[in-house]
Amino acid sequence: MNFPRRGIAEDDSSAGASLYHGSRWLLESKILSNKRKLVSSRKGALKMKLSRILGVVCAFFFILFSALSSWSATAPTLTIFIDATSAPRKIFHAKLKIPASAGDLTLYYPKWIPGEHAPDGPVIDLAGLKFTASGKTLKWRHDLLDNFTIHVEVPAGETEINADLDFLSPATLEAGFSAGSSATDKMALISWNQVLLYPKGWKADEITYVATLKIPSNWKFGTALPIASATADQPNGETQIRFQPAPLTTLVDSPVITGEFLKVVKLAENPLVEMDIAADSAAALEPPEEVWDHYKSLVEQANRLFGAHHYRDYHFLYSLSDHVAHFGLEHHESDDSRVDERGLIDDMARKSEASLLPHEYVHSWNGKYRRPADLTTPDYQQPMQDDLLWVYEGLTNYLGTVLTARSGLLTPEEAREDLALTAADLDHTPGRAWRDLQDTTDAAAELYFSPRSWESWRRSTDFYDEGTLDWLWADVIIRQQSKGKKTLDDFCHLFHGAPNTGPMVKTYTFDDVVNVLNQIVPYDWRGFWTERLTNHGPGAPLGGIEGSGWKVAYDEFPSEMARVEEGRDRLIDGAYSIGLKLHEDGTITDTIEGMPAAIAGIGPGMKLIAVNGHKFSVEVLREALKAGATSTAPLELLVENTDYYKTYKLDYHGGERYPHLVRDESKPDLLSMIYQAK
Ligand SMILES: [Zn+2]
């Protein structure tokens, strides 16, 4: 199979790859200059003689160099065998055969994980490393400047070495992305980047892997990686899956979901789109029938939004478990999305994660097919630059929320309530005074791993939620400027759409985004985005909400989506009243600078013990806030801080406050049009 990856082919900046290509280009330019010398020496017999000698010499070197060049241009093919039968013990064994020649063989463990936008490859969990050739154990050592690089001493005469390694998956529940908890007694996620090494000097597109995977007996599996054969006749009833040879890029981009309770639901044909869902129980796989209809509608609506697709087929790999890390990671032809065990069957849980699969699915177009040039690296060691994540993640987040509404995964009212929470949260982020949106992307590799404490002052990966508000604003501007003739859907058609292709990368820059927006409707898009990326507020960018005919307003009644969010995070959101976010056990996760709790002296990490002398509970706090609205007495919070207790007095009388969107009848209701199924 051929995988034209234009973007990657254009961008050759890996240290290993450029070193290799540099020397090859040097040889070829010498050959060309020698040929030129040959032509210019035909004027005299003497010169002719000389030229013959030169010709012979050149021919000799040409043949030599060609041989060297074609030898060095043959990209390696590795075989890899993964034994996942010990997944419930949370250990995975791998055996690789790697072409080699005498001397130093430099191998890499993937460091920068695509979609995670950070150098978070779990190298600390690599164990049991052993290299052999012809039955002899080889010496190896980590590179002193980079723990992801391993040097192996290959003896003379060897053309291939064997590598054995184990991947130690987190043994207790660990949050995070693909390196977080990934295996339970009943299911596992296999991310190939965690169980392999690859040789230096080649792009990930150039190295071929012939992979085989063995899974526990009676477990089923799902993956987008093309399969050669699957046999269930292994000893102990295990299944062995042989995959078609695939480039390293495709392998790393195609995780495998496997488990005892695994359900496959077909969502579309031509091309095939299916959900491969593994759960910790059979019951978790049986949601109301209409859930599947919404996901079928998601596929339909996404394809109408973009007008074309860029996968051969697509697999939603969906994990339902309380014992795996919860996140979503995009791939070109699949996604690795993980939620609670009851994430499909529980109504509240389903609402809380409604936009997860739409978001990851959108990434097949926005992030995988169209990718910022700065994020398009030839291998997994070259650092990625995150400065365009406001498009990669921000636009994806906006389109994800739009498709969530269009597919019926949330009702239009729920989608608006969700948007109100996004706007209110960003409107209570004083950190924008010092850190602009651009800097949240520039610092993303660290911000992804920042704690929730001080989040409102540090800021976090706000380009997701702020991206939603900003791209809504762009959508509204397109609709206003074109008098309703054009929408952001037209931008998506042009930027992400036809023709249908298999997986490939088409890179873009800031200028490309501005240019395509201008092709949809002429406007000062450069000025618009520059302002959005560099302004310091105050307050969230609400131009999109207000331009679409709605306003953010607060009252004492939490919306359904506010309750869903509080339930999911086990948090009490007092951000909009006293500027306090706390866990349901009273632990304060954040205080918002400039608001009553922070002014009184309370900070994150402290613990709320009592409210107005009454032992803290969620209800006690809510009732005290309510009572305070009709009283002049201060709100008294008894707080524990590093083994000391202190009562803080807050002069607050605003009651409980929760955000909503309310209609502004002076403007057309563009938001409802945006949320309408196409
Ligand atoms: Zn994303």
**Ligand 1: distance of its center to the CA of 361 in Å?**
9
Distance of alpha carbon 131 from alpha carbon 129, whole angstroms: 7
Distance of alpha carbon 455 from alpha carbon 40, whole angstroms: 71
570: left (phi over 0), alpha (psi -120 to 50) or beta: left
- How many residues are recorded in the chain? 678
Helix, strand, coil in percent for the chain, rounding step 5: 35, 25, 35
The structure's pTM equals: 0.89
**Ligand 1: distance of its center to the CA of 395 in Å?**
9
**Ligand 1: distance of its center to the CA of 386 in Å?**
13
Residues (pLDDT < 70) of the chain are 1-73
Q: What is the pLDDT of residue 360?
A: 98
Q: What is the pLDDT of residue 73?
A: 66
DSSP letter at 118 equals B
Residue with tokens 């690789």: 96
**Nearest residue to 388 (alpha-carbon basis) of 352, 311, 441:** 441
Q: What is the pLDDT of residue 299?
A: 98
**Ligand 1: distance of its center to the CA of 655 in Å?**
36
Q: E strand or H helix at 193, and its extent?
A: none
Q: What is the pLDDT of residue 210?
A: 98
pLDDT in tens, 567-618: 888 888 999 999 999 999 999 999 999 999 999 999 999 999 999 999 999 9
Q: What is the pLDDT of residue 569?
A: 80
Distance of alpha carbon 399 from alpha carbon 367, whole angstroms: 12
**Ligand 1: distance of its center to the CA of 31 in Å?**
48
**Ligand 1: distance of its center to the CA of 76 in Å?**
32
Distance of alpha carbon 640 from alpha carbon 648, whole angstroms: 11
**Ligand 1: distance of its center to the CA of 398 in Å?**
10
Q: What is the pLDDT of residue 57?
A: 53
SS3 readout for 314-352: EEEEEEECCCCCCEEEECCCEEEEEECCCCCCCHHHHHH
**Ligand 1: distance of its center to the CA of 330 in Å?**
7
